[in-house]
Structure formats: structure tokens, C-alpha cells
Amino acid sequence: MPRRNADTRAEIRETALELFGQQGFSDTSLRQIAERLEITKAALYYHFPSKQELLAEVVQPLLQEGEALLERAEAEGEPSLDRFLEEYFDLMRRHRAVLHVLLFDMGAIARLTDIVPTLLTWRERAAKVIFGGDLTEERLALAVFAVGGLQDVAFLPGESPGTALRDAAVDAALRVLKG
């Protein structure tokens, strides 16, 4: 069977994410990924020497895009709050399959020692973007609720038409932030 596209590495990542989401990271073998792609296990190992390295690469786009979003917002000084929350929601929505793997298979998180501290740091950085330098404990809590709520809504299954879900989530986050 001919390859779906010329980027075997990308196909491996896509298939791995699909199987990790269906079966969990711990219960998915490299053999299963290779079989799904109709390639040899040796070909898979050529691209990814271990399942842990494959997982790290599957998670990498979320980490890179999240870091870029926060860096842009931090550099702006006082970014548009609505736009920042919309972009954060969109980021989480785009990567909800990765979030699903991480949230529902603790074995996956245990293998990525930097992921939990990174995501926790994101919430604090987002709070500083939202409230600037005047970050009290109460404001930090409000920001964590708002950003965490956006993340949770973005994680909901199904596709909503247009931006209705995002608009509702951002509106709710703004109400939380205004106390």
C-alpha cells in the first residue's frame, strides 16, 4: 500500500496520537503503530528509537505553540485580553487530542517529566499577562479558574459550528476575571 504522504515521520506521529488516545500511551505498543501504518517495526524504530521519544515529539507542537503564545503576549505588555483568551482557547482546542492522552494516561505524563511544570507555569504566566505586575493571590486564583476553564471547555468533544463555543468560553472566562 502506498504511503498516504511522503512524511513517514508525520504519519507515525499522527497514528501514534490516534492510538494513544484510543488505548492510552501505556497500552499502545510500537508494534501496533507499525502495523496500523503497514510499515515494519524496524522502519518505525528508524524514525523513533523509543515510544517515549515518540510521545515527546507528539507533545512538542503543543509546547512550542503555547510558549510562542505566552511570549507574544508577554512582549506586548498589555495585550488585548479577549484576543489572548481566544488564542489560548484555540491552542487548547487544536491540541485536545494531546491533552486527552496526557490527562487520561498518567503513564504518559510520568514519562514527560517537564510537561506538568511547564503547564503549571503557563497558568501563572497567563495570570501575569491578564493582570500585569499586580498579581495578588486572589487574582492568581481568578486567572487559574479562567484559563483552566478555557482549557476544559476546549477539551470538550465534538465540533461546534463557527466560534460559538469559543465565544461562550471566553465570555465566561471574562466574567470570572471581573470577579
CATH number at 117 reads 1.10.357
Whether 7 is in a domain gets the answer no
Whether 46 is in a domain gets the answer no
Whether 50 is in a domain gets the answer no
pLDDT of residue 72: 95
Whether 85 is in a domain gets the answer yes
Q: What is the DSSP letter of 113?
A: T
Range of the structural domain that residue 82 is part of? 59-177
What's the total number of domains in the chain? 1
pLDDT of residue 121: 87
What pTM does this model have? 0.86
Whether 45 is in a domain gets the answer no
pLDDT in tens, 60-116: 999 999 999 999 999 987 778 999 999 999 999 999 999 888 888 877 777 777 787
Helices (H), 25-163: 30-37, 41-47, 51-76, 81-94, 96-104, 106-111, 115-131, 137-154
pLDDT of residue 103: 81
Nearest CA-CA partner of 174 in 141, 138, 146, 133: 146
Annotate 101-121 with b (16+ C-beta within 10 A) or e (fewer).
Answer: bbeebeebbebbeebeeebee
